[in-house]
Every structure is written in structure tokens, then in C-alpha cells.
């Protein structure tokens, strides 16, 4: 039995690498929740090619009595090149609960893995066994790929959570879940296991909900195993029941978090790494893993918002600067509800007969997202204004007046200088205060490095200085300390979320 648990834990530490190596979802948000309307839902796909990820939006507008599932599709728009979108229809009142499921194929630490990621509904009533509307299918498992009898062939793996418990359901290619073949005292015995690992544990341990009855070895319960010495111990009880041909299991979250080796929970990843398997314990061979599910990253959470509740967004002043034959406009959109702007346009000239889509630097709408656009001087002759709409409220910026088409657009020196550019190891980003009529630099001033997709790579904050020039060095690394690839990057200077300048950098390794 120890060897079985050791092999089981080896499989699970691969899952821990998966959890640490994948950061998939960012900026999960919607437009304003207007009653009896369609809303737009966005999520950014990070650290992986957008066309290699299949993602579902699931949502409920009837207090989890039923769920709708919709495929999310790429927007492929400037500033939204790695954004997936879908719409959901709202009723006239109540709330909406919504979450994400994704399936990706990834190579982590040399392993090629098919990985499922899933948020889940919440078992608000702490039902056991929970009804299907309080759970979600985490992954499917192929039929007929098991070793041994059909009851050892896993076909579905479901999950849910409450404030106090984790819930899991297994389905097999049968209606029975026997724990032994003939009588309890004689082999073969059968074990059904849901294992989990906290990717932030600092020790070589894994945990498992086990449904089994193996005399003198293991009984149904919650176990911890240590890969370093092949030891295992029961650390708690579980609820387990076979109902309508499915195996239901549940454990107390406190039994996990009270174990000093479990690690912090909630962790910074927001998830646990899961797998489910069936096993046979016999005389020869001693043990057999009969079937297992794909890797699952289990996010026990989902979003819930009240329909009809909304705070109007705000716009900063629209600013612009001219350089050579182009004009760059910038404005910051801030929404306390983190609602995305479904309208984000710049309208220009006397009758506002021309409009252009402003492009975001990031999608942090709650804290303020900077939008900008560069136009050729021939595209504007009089004035411009930014107009945004969160799906309910339209907000307009100030009007800025531009020199006429017959006037020469004055050239100005860049407020950021970059040297060397191109660079291979490091470059110095220099801000000269003498070129800008600004007071002392506030604490919220920083230079941000973006890649060509508009993804934030690195923040380089700096503080006020009495000197006219301020220098910051970028070593060509991201926030995690990893070297970024050769290519084009943009350094953007902002002060209190107000755009000041942006420069293009070329990294050549």
C-alpha cells in the first residue's frame, strides 16, 4: 500500500508543477448589469497562446437552479488581442453567478499534459450528497481505457465547495463501487481516490479522499502522504456515499488547513491541483492503478453580482501631444464596479463625423485603465473628445482643440529617453523633468513595460527626486525575474494614472 501511495504522490507532484506553471485568467469582468439586457463578458488569457485554449463561460440567473454554458471567442481587436468574450442575457431582477472553465494542453517541467481548469458553483445549502445544480463537471474521462472491470473505469469528475467543505463526485462505466471482490478479509480490494495538492505547500506531501475498506491498511477517510519516507496517515474523516450510481465524497476544509504541512489557504494561485483514480490492491501484482482522470486545477470560487446595481464610470481629462506629423491622445477610464467599456471611442472635428477606437494599455478598469490612440495630423483639423459607455452610462471627456490643418504641428522632445536602444542586457530609461511642466513627481509615478500584445511585463516604480533627471534601469526581465524574449516592447510613463509618455524599445539577445 505504501508503494501505491508513493506512486500516487509522484503523479500529484506533477500536478503541483502544473498549478505553479499556469496562470491563465486575468481581468475577468463584464459590462454593466442592466436588467433585461445582454451583457458582455471578457477575460484575458495570459501566458499561453489564445488559440490553444478552449474556454467556457457558465452562468446562472435563477439562484443556481440551472446553468447556461457558452463558448468564449477571441476578440482579436487592438488592445484586446488576448481577450476572450461572450454575452449573457439578464432577467429583470435578481443576481447573476458566473464562472470559467478552460482546457489547455501545456508542457510543464518537461511533461506534456492535458489540463482542465474550473471555477465551480457553491453548495450554499451544504447538501450531501449535493444535487447536480450545486456542482460542475471538472473534466470527462474516456470510456473503456481502464485496466480491469468496468466499475474501475472513471468517466466523469465533478466538484463543488461550501464555506466549510470540498465536494467531489465520481462517475464510472457501471453503477457499482465495490470495495472488495468476494469478502472483506480477502483480496483483491478496490480503492477510489480523489487526491489534491496545495501548490504552495513547502513540503513533499499530498492529500487524498479515499473510499476503501482494506483490513489493517486503510479505511475510508482523509489521508496525508509524504513522498520522502513513503509514510501516510489519516488526518480526518470524510463523508462518502454511493447514490444513483455515483460516488460522492466530501471533506472538511479545516482538516486540511489545520495540518501544518498543507500550506497557506487561500493561496496566491487560488486553486488546488486535483486528480482522481481507481486502484486495485492484490497479491500479485501488489497494486494496479486502473484508471485516472486528467489533471484538474480546481478554483473553489465564482463571481456573483446583483442585477441593476451600477456606479457610473469616470474619465480623466483627455490629453494629447504632437510629434512630427502625428498626434497622440490619452485618457484614463475608471469604473468602481470594474465594468468594461463597450464604447471606447475618440470623435473628432466639427460635426464629430469621424470616430476611432481608443486602445487600452491594460484592462484594470477598477483602478483606472489608460486608453490612447495616435492619429496622423491629416486625420484631424479642429478638436477631439473621448466618449465611453459601460453598457448603461455614457461619459464624455473634455474637448481638446488642435491646431488647424494649415498650421505646422510643433515637434516636441520625448519626455523619456532610452539608451541603448536596441539593447541586449539592460537599458536606461531616463525622464527629464525640465521638458515637462509638472510639480515634484508623486509617489504613484512609474514606468511600465508592455509587450507588443499589450500585456504588462514589468513595473518600474520610482519616487520623487529634486534632480531634473530621473533614471530607471530595465534588465530585460519580467516581474518574476525571468528574461523576456527578443522583440519590440513599449515603456510607458504614468503619473497618478495619467499618461505622460511612451517609447518603443527593441530587445535583441
* pLDDT tens for each residue of 346-400: 999 765 568 999 999 889 999 999 999 998 888 887 889 999 999 999 999 998 8
Which pLDDT belongs to residue 403? 53
Report the percent of the chain where pLDDT is more than 70.
84
The three-class DSSP label of residue 266 is: coil
CA 445/CA 25 separation, integer angstroms: 27
Q: What is the pLDDT of residues 251-281, one digit of tens each?
A: 999 999 999 999 999 998 899 999 999 999 8
- State the chain's maximal CA–CA distance in angstroms: 97
CA 203/CA 227 separation, integer angstroms: 9
Which pLDDT belongs to residue 111? 60
Q: Split the chain (509 residues) into runs of 10 and give each run's mean pLDDT.
A: 47 55 85 98 78 89 97 92 95 97 75 84 96 95 95 97 98 96 91 92 88 92 85 93 97 97 92 93 85 92 97 93 83 96 90 82 92 87 91 94 48 65 84 50 69 78 62 89 84 70 78
Q: Could you tell me the CA-to-CA distances from 341 to 107, 353, 357 in Å, in that order? A: 35, 21, 11
CA 235/CA 238 separation, integer angstroms: 10
Q: Which residues contact 144 (CB under 8 A, 6 or more apart)?
A: 153, 173
CA 242/CA 128 separation, integer angstroms: 11
Grid coordinates representing 95? 443576481
Is the separation of the CB atoms in 225 and 155 below 8 Å? Answer: no
Residue by residue, what is the 3-state secondary structure of 354-406? EEEECEECCCCCCCCEEEEEEEEHHHCCCEEEEEEECCCCEEEEEEEECCCCC
Which pLDDT belongs to residue 95? 97
Sign for the pseudo-dihedral over CA of 183, 189, 190, 193: positive
Which pLDDT belongs to residue 410? 40
Reported as type and span, the H/E element at residue 30 is strand 25-30
pTM of the model: 0.77
Q: Which residues contact 437 (CB under 8 A, 6 or more apart)?
A: none
Which pLDDT belongs to residue 475? 92
Omega into 13 within 30° of 0, i.e. cis?
A: no
CA 380/CA 399 separation, integer angstroms: 13
CA 101/CA 55 separation, integer angstroms: 6
Grid coordinates representing 327? 498626434
CA 196/CA 255 separation, integer angstroms: 13
Amino acid at each position: 500500500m505504501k508503494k501505491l501511495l508513493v506512486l500516487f504522490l509522484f503523479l500529484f507532484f506533477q500536478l503541483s508543477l502544473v498549478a505553479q506553471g499556469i496562470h491563465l485568467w486575468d481581468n475577468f469582468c463584464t459590462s454593466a448589469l442592466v436588467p433585461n439586457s445582454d451583457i458582455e463578458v471578457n477575460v484575458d488569457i495570459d501566458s499561453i497562446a489564445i488559440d490553444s485554449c478552449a474556454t467556457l463561460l457558465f452562468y446562472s440567473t435563477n439562484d443556481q437552479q440551472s446553468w447556461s454554458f457558452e463558448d468564449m471567442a477571441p476578440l482579436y481587436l487592438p488592445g484586446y488581442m488576448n481577450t476572450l468574450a461572450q454575452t449573457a442575457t439578464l432577467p429583470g431582477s435578481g443576481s447573476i453567478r458566473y464562472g470559467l472553465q478552460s482546457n489547455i494542453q501545456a508542457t510543464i517541467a518537461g511533461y506534456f499534459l492535458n489540463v482542465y481548469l474550473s471555477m465551480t458553483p457553491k453548495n450554499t445549502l451544504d447538501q450531501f450528497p449535493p444535487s447536480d445544480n450545486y456542482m460542475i463537471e471538472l473534466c470527462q474521462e474516456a470510456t473503456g481505457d481502464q485496466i480491469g472491470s468496468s466499475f474501475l473505469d472513471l468517466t466523469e469528475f465533478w466538484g463543488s465547495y461550501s464555506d466549510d467543505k470540498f465536494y467531489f463526485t465520481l462517475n464510472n462505466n457501471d453503477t457499482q463501487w465495490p470495495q472488495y471482490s468476494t469478502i472483506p478479509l480477502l483480496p483483491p480490494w478496490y480503492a477510489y481516490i480523489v487526491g489534491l495538492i496545495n501548490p504552495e505547500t513547502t513540503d513533499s506531501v499530498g492529500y487524498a479522499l479515499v473510499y476503501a475498506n482494506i483490513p489493517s491498511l486503510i479505511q475510508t477517510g482523509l489521508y496525508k502522504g509524504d513522498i520522502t519516507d513513503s509514510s501516510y496517515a489519516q488526518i480526518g474523516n470524510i463523508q462518502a456515499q454511493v447514490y444513483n450510481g455515483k460516488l460522492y465524497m466530501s471533506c472538511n476544509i479545516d482538516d486540511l488547513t489545520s495540518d501544518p504541512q498543507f500550506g497557506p489557504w487561500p493561496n496566491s494561485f487560488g486553486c488546488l491541483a486535483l486528480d482522481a483514480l481507481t486502484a486495485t490492491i492484490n497479491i500479485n501484482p501488489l497494486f494496479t492503478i486502473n484508471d485516472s482522470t486528467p489533471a484538474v486545477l480546481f478554483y473553489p470560487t465564482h463571481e456573483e453580482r446583483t442585477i441593476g446595481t451600477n456606479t457610473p464610470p469616470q474619465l480623466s481629462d483627455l490629453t494629447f501631444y504632437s510629434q512630427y506629423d502625428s498626434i497622440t491622445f490619452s485618457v484614463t477610464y475608471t469604473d468602481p464596479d470594474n465594468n468594461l467599456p463597450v464604447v471606447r471611442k475618440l470623435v473628432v472635428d466639427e460635426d464629430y463625423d469621424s470616430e476611432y477606437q481608443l486602445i487600452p494599455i491594460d484592462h484594470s478598469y477598477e483602478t483606472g485603465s489608460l486608453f490612447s490612440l495616435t492619429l496622423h495630423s491629416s486625420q484631424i483639423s479642429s478638436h477631439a473628445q473621448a466618449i465611453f459607455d459601460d453598457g448603461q452610462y455614457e461619459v464624455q471627456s473634455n474637448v481638446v482643440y488642435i491646431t488647424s490643418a494649415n498650421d505646422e504641428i510643433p515637434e516636441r522632445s520625448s519626455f523619456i529617453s532610452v539608451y541603448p536602444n536596441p539593447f541586449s542586457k539592460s537599458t536606461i530609461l531616463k525622464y527629464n523633468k525640465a521638458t515637462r511642466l509638472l510639480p515634484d513627481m508623486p509617489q504613484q509615478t512609474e514606468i511600465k513595460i508592455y509587450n507588443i500584445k499589450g500585456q504588462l511585463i514589468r513595473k518600474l516604480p520610482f519616487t520623487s527626486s529634486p534632480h531634473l533627471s530621473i533614471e530607471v534601469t530595465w534588465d530585460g526581465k519580467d516581474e518574476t525575474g525571468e528574461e523576456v524574449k527578443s522583440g519590440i516592447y513599449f515603456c510607458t510613463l504614468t503619473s497618478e494614472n495619467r499618461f505622460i509618455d511612451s517609447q518603443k524599445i527593441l530587445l535583441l539577445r
